[in-house]
Amino acid sequence: MYLLMTVCVLVATVMAAIWMILYFKYKDQFNEILEDVDDGIFTLKELYFIGLGAIDVFEKVKKKKISSSEKALEEMKKLSEVFGRANAELYYYIAHAGVISLFLTFAPIGLTLVCLMKSLMGLGIGVVLMFILPFGLRMGINSSVSNKKDELLSEFPKMVSKLTMLINAGMLVRRAWDEVANSNHEEALYEEMRITSKDIQEGMAIDRAMESFASRCGIKEIRKFSSIYVQAVNRGASESINSMKIMADEAWEQKKQLSKQKGEIASQKLLIPNMLMFVGIMIVVVVPMIASMLSGFNL
């Protein structure tokens, strides 16, 4: 135990020193970047300048950006689904800075608790502070990506049905897109449609704008739909309207299946607390009975 405490003190001292150096060097350098970051997702964002500073030092030493690897590009693709393609790299840095900042902040505290409490409980609390908080941040980001996809998939059937109905009624394909995009200002899918409309109005080619739309959404069904929509624009609605109708039907069926799966997952999640309650009730009922029986045998 003495050796463990000595190691904890040394590591905590070194990490605290690193934290202090980064704090005083970078405390005012990233205020504008972090000001608009959603603190509902990024916990304790006020400390993230420490992680950004650590990344800055690392990149200067390595002379290479951390966002240049294949793994980083894959992660940025996921982040673009929530924060947009233009902000994906920025939020990649912020996400990693958050993990580094929380680890450098709470690891010395956790290690110090190990020394102060001189017990396995102290070690347990220390581990929680060092690893659970940074891990929780990553889980929060992944949850945001998953929720965004679920929201897009939920609205997708309605959007395709509206668009198909307007085009089938004789409205121009491009105008039908804008009408549907402006019919809802609450859901994320329609916001992505409005971004696409703006891209086209600013001169972006329709196929490239739709490719960008599909990339931001990050869902294979929307990629397929985007391809069909581009065909409708380029070749005329008459050739593509049947494909859009079929896709609308498939989307509604998929939504039903997704709702069913969510219900099954929710019931499985409820099973664990129910089992715990059952075990608790059994302990409350059975243990006194066994104790009573044993006391009877002793008599």
Cα–Cα separations (whole angstroms), residue 197 to 5, 175, 207, 223, 231:
61, 10, 12, 17, 17
In a domain, 81, yes or no: yes
Does 158 share its domain with 24? no
> What pLDDT shows up at residue 275?
67
Q: Which of 18-22, 133-137, 241-245, 249-253 has the highest mean pLDDT?
A: 18-22
Cβ atoms of residues 55 and 72 within 8 Å: no
As a whole number, mean pLDDT of residues 33-45 equals 79
> What pLDDT shows up at residue 281?
67
In a domain, 208, yes or no: yes
Does 130 share its domain with 197? no
Does 38 share its domain with 100? yes
Q: Among 118, 146, 174, where does a domain finish? A: 146
Does 214 share its domain with 233? yes
Does 205 share its domain with 246? yes
Please tell me whether the overall predicted TM-score, pTM, comes out greater than 0.75 for this model: no
Q: Among 114, 146, 178, where does a domain finish? A: 146
Stretch among 52-66, 167-181, 284-298 having the lowest mean pLDDT: 284-298
Q: Give the rounded percent of residues in the chain with a pLDDT score beyond 70.
A: 76
In a domain, 194, yes or no: yes
pLDDT at residue 180 greater than cutoff 90: yes
Does 16 share its domain with 141? yes
- CATH number of the domain at 228, please: 1.20.81
Q: Give the rounded percent of residues in the chain with a pLDDT score beyond 90.
A: 18
In a domain, 12, yes or no: yes
> What pLDDT shows up at residue 177?
92
pLDDT at residue 122 greater than cutoff 70: no
Cα–Cα separations (whole angstroms), residue 9 to 2, 100, 271:
11, 20, 43
Does 40 share its domain with 141? yes
Does 116 share its domain with 9? yes
Q: Which domain, by its residues, includes 19?
A: 2-146
> What pLDDT shows up at residue 133?
67
In a domain, 290, yes or no: no
pLDDT at residue 56 greater than cutoff 80: yes
Distance CA 175, CA 27 (A): 49
Does 105 share its domain with 239? no
Does 173 share its domain with 63? no
Does 170 share its domain with 220? yes
> What pLDDT shows up at residue 182?
92
> What pLDDT shows up at residue 130?
66
In a domain, 273, yes or no: no
Q: Which residue has the higher pLDDT, 107 or 14?
A: 14
Does 139 share its domain with 14? yes
pLDDT at residue 86 greater than cutoff 70: yes
As a whole number, mean pLDDT of residues 202-217 equals 87
In a domain, 262, yes or no: no
> What pLDDT shows up at residue 23?
93
Query: Per-residue pLDDT tens for 218-266?
Result: 777 888 888 888 888 888 777 677 888 888 888 788 777 766 666 655 5
pLDDT at residue 151 greater than cutoff 90: no
Q: Among 146, 167, 201, where does a domain finish? A: 146
In a domain, 169, yes or no: yes
The count of domains in the chain is 2
Average pLDDT, the chain: 80
DSSP string, the chain: -HHHHHHHHHHHHHHHHHHHHHHHHHTTTSHHHHHTS-TTTSTTGGGHHHHHHHHHHHHHHHTS-GGGSHHHHHHHHHHHHHH-GGGHHHHHHHHHHHHHHHHHHHHHHHHHHHHHH-SHHHHHHHHIIIIIHHHHHHHHHHHHHHHHHHHHHHHHHHHHHHHHHHHHTT--HHHHHHHHHTT-SSSHHHHHHHHHHHHHHTT--HHHHHHHHHHHHT-HHHHHHHHHHHHHHHH-HHHHHHHHHHHHHHHHHHHHHHHHHHHHHHHHHHHHHHHHHHHHHHHHHHHHHHHHHHHHHH-
pLDDT at residue 25 greater than cutoff 70: yes
Stretch among 71-75, 128-132, 251-255, 295-299 having the lowest mean pLDDT: 295-299
